[in-house]
Amino acid sequence: MQYIRLGNSGLQVSRLCLGTMNMGTPDWKPWIFNEKQSEPIVAHALNNGVNFIDLADFYSAGVGEEVVGRIVKRLARREDLVITTKVGYGTRNAINASGHSRKHIMDSIDASLKRLDMDYVDVFMLHYFDVNTPVEETMGALNDIVRSGKARYIGVSTMLTGQLAKILMACERNGWVKPINMQLQLNCAYREEEREMIPFCRDQGIGVSVFSPLARGLLTGDVQSTRNQTDFFTQQMYSDEVSFEIAHSVQRVARARGVSNAQIAQAWVANHPGVDCMLVGADTTAQFDSALAALETKLDAEELHELERNYTPCDVINDYTAGKRILRTARPGHERFTLQGAVA
């Protein structure tokens, strides 16, 4: 396992972070693992050097935190782990049971700690940017949580670069703690965060953790998985022509290497110059091992060209564009390059 200091903090984390959205109860989603099914995966990750575990109160409507909390208590020393959880979407439907108001943030940290059976989390993260709550209210509440000892650090996820700048300015004006981690979506088929967010995080000393390195399974070739057949987000994000062409490129490189599609797609992310950590949501120990191998898989210039040549700019993926994104269609090639026999 490789380790890295997260952003400008002194916190050292494994470059693979165990994602746990697939752990909790299948009553929430049909592809979720129960506690018995989840424990071998958590154990395998810990045995291979993972110390970074990502959760959210939203996962399995809170049951995810309960399940993972019990598992890690059996398997590891709390002080050896870096536990992060997120606030925003909530666990139930009620007027003040979601968002980033001071009330909901304060209620949520206490509820998460109770479910996890822990005294603190290492990183308490905003799941998105709440446009309906003043940023000073949100960040003031997070600052108070850190000062109270219920969280060691704060982080953010899935927002526009200008929104992150707004957060940092509020923290700077008021002398509040700043985020040390940005969690964002990045993979061969979705690279929009390379334009502004990743360079901005690098400039501001914020660590970058990446989720969905396999484009929700598209880049593995398994588009017929239970999750992808029951999760409309996958269709909305990755059902366009360009995404499928990129998936074919991943397959070509993988076949030439003699490794799995997943290892190549993960290697592209893991070795990206703007990425600190890669989240791995493994359904099997073999899937985790693929990500572990990806850390050491160095892609050459020709392989990178094949993986990147089909990429076309697209609408940003976030809460504000849900249901409104326009799918990409590759632009037609010039006759010079489309004649039979031309080099692909």
pLDDT in single tens digits along all 344 residues of the chain: 999 999 999 999 999 999 999 999 999 999 999 999 999 999 999 999 999 999 999 999 999 999 999 999 999 999 999 999 999 998 999 999 999 999 999 999 999 999 999 999 999 999 999 999 999 999 999 999 999 999 999 999 999 999 999 999 999 999 999 999 999 999 999 999 999 999 999 999 999 999 999 998 899 986 555 555 555 566 667 778 899 999 999 999 999 999 999 999 999 999 999 999 999 999 999 999 999 999 999 999 999 999 999 998 877 877 777 777 677 776 666 666 555 444 44
10 Å CB burial of residue 121 (0-12, 13-18, 19+) is buried
d(CA 314, CA 279): 23
Report DSSP state, residue 200: H
Alpha-carbon radius of gyration of the chain: 20
In sequence order, what are the residues at sequence separation of 6 or more whose Cβ sits closer than 8 angstroms to the Cβ of residue 94? none
CATH number for the segment(s) 3-215+273-283: 3.20.20.100
d(CA 292, CA 28): 29
Q: Quick one: tokens of 277? A: 């950590």
Residue of 3, 59, 311, 320 with catalytic role: 59
Q: Is 59 a catalytic residue?
A: yes
In sequence order, what are the residues at sequence separation of 6 or more whose Cβ sits closer than 8 angstroms to the Cβ of residue 171? 139, 143, 177, 178, 179
**Which spans in 62-149 are helix H?**
63-75, 102-116, 135-148
- Which residue in this structure is represented by tokens 């091992």? 289
